Chains A and B, each alone.
Chain A
Amino acid sequence: MKRPPMLMHVIIRGERRGFGLWLPLFLLLPLALALFIIVSPLILISILVFWPRGWRKRALHIFGAAFEVFCSMRGLNVDIQGDHHCVYISAV
């Protein structure tokens, strides 16, 4: 099981203004889980609605796959620097 990223560092700088953020993803995960539990009845209904269309498998797997993509983000590093602009995203 891959460990999800714990922190995300985002820096965006424009010509005049900019900001830097340390996003504590480990704090967002319990919130996301709580939200998932709240929304799960709706998900269940949507799965039942899409059942005849053959989307059942996709609907069941999409959350697992999305979580896998999220967990795989650990180590992602995007650093773009221009003359007066800067975008830096790093998942730790």
Chain B
Amino acid sequence: MADNKKKVLEMLAQNKISTDEAYRLLSALETEGSASEGTPKSGTAAKMKSKYLRVCILSGSEHEHGGKSDRVNVRVPMTLIRSGMKFTSLLPPEARDKVTGALQEKGIDFDMRNLKPEEIDELIEALSELEVDVAGSDGETVKVFVE
């Protein structure tokens, strides 16, 4: 946008356009700039929308323990997930191999070496659509969602 303004001013200096025309062009450029700032890209909008990952686990044994039930309520900021994922890219290759090996031992087929920084944002964005709602027969519930 700055380049366009410069061009308009150059045209004015070379007397190719009048001051009125230059004023109108500059105003139009400013309006265009503020409009594009006002409408964020879809990716950014998604990032702004989802702020926290929530994990809620409630046991169904409320009556067995004198009215108190076991519960887990975790709220993780999405920014923390994003920076945590970026932090993993700084792990030395030896450590990554160990983590990948440990995950595979547990039956999780996830290779950290394939995780690229540009894919992290895509992954976080995809998380905004995540919703897990599990209800057990004893009344226990597990909810994982993004808010």
Q: Does A83 contact B (CB under 8 A)?
A: yes
Q: How far is the CB of B35 from chain A (nearest CB, A)?
A: 26
Which residues from B are CB-within-8-Å of A79? 71-74
A-B CB contacts (within 8 Å), total count: 59
Among residues of A, the one whose C-beta sits closest to the C-beta of B66 is A83
Q: Does A46 contact B (CB under 8 A)?
A: no
A interface, size bucket: 20 to 34
Please determine whether A65 and B90 come into contact, CB atoms closer than 8 angstroms: yes
Among residues of A, the one whose C-beta sits closest to the C-beta of B82 is A72
Q: How far is the CB of A30 from chain B (nearest CB, A)?
A: 22
Please determine whether B75 and A76 come into contact, CB atoms closer than 8 angstroms: yes
In the bound assembly, the distance between CA atoms of A69 and B81 in angstroms comes to 9
**Per-residue interface assignment for chain B, residues 72 to 93, with 1 indicating a CB less than 8 Å from any chain A CB and 0 otherwise:** 1111110110111011001010
Please determine whether B75 and A75 come into contact, CB atoms closer than 8 angstroms: yes
Q: A72-B82, A81-B71, A83-B70 are in contact. Are A65 and B87 (CB under 8 A)?
A: yes
Please determine whether A80 and B92 come into contact, CB atoms closer than 8 angstroms: no
Q: Does B5 contact A (CB under 8 A)?
A: no
Which of A66, A75, A80, A83 is within 8 Å of B77, CB to CB? A75
Among residues of A, the one whose C-beta sits closest to the C-beta of B77 is A75
In the bound assembly, the distance between CA atoms of A61 and B92 in angstroms comes to 12
In the bound assembly, the distance between CA atoms of A76 and B51 in angstroms comes to 11
Q: How far is the CB of B51 from chain A (nearest CB, A)?
A: 7
Which residues from A are CB-within-8-Å of B41? none
Q: A55-B92, A58-B90, A83-B65 are in contact. Are A65 and B74 (CB under 8 A)?
A: no
Please determine whether B84 and A69 come into contact, CB atoms closer than 8 angstroms: yes
Please determine whether A78 and B83 come into contact, CB atoms closer than 8 angstroms: no
Please determine whether A72 and B80 come into contact, CB atoms closer than 8 angstroms: yes
**Per-residue interface assignment for chain A, residues 43 to 80, with 1 indicating a CB less than 8 Å from any chain B CB and 0 otherwise:** 00000000000010010011001101101111111111
**Per-residue interface assignment for chain B, residues 34 to 77, with 1 indicating a CB less than 8 Å from any chain A CB and 0 otherwise:** 00000000000000000110000000000001001011111111
State the A residues within 8 Å of B (CB): 2, 55, 58, 61-62, 65-66, 68-69, 71-83
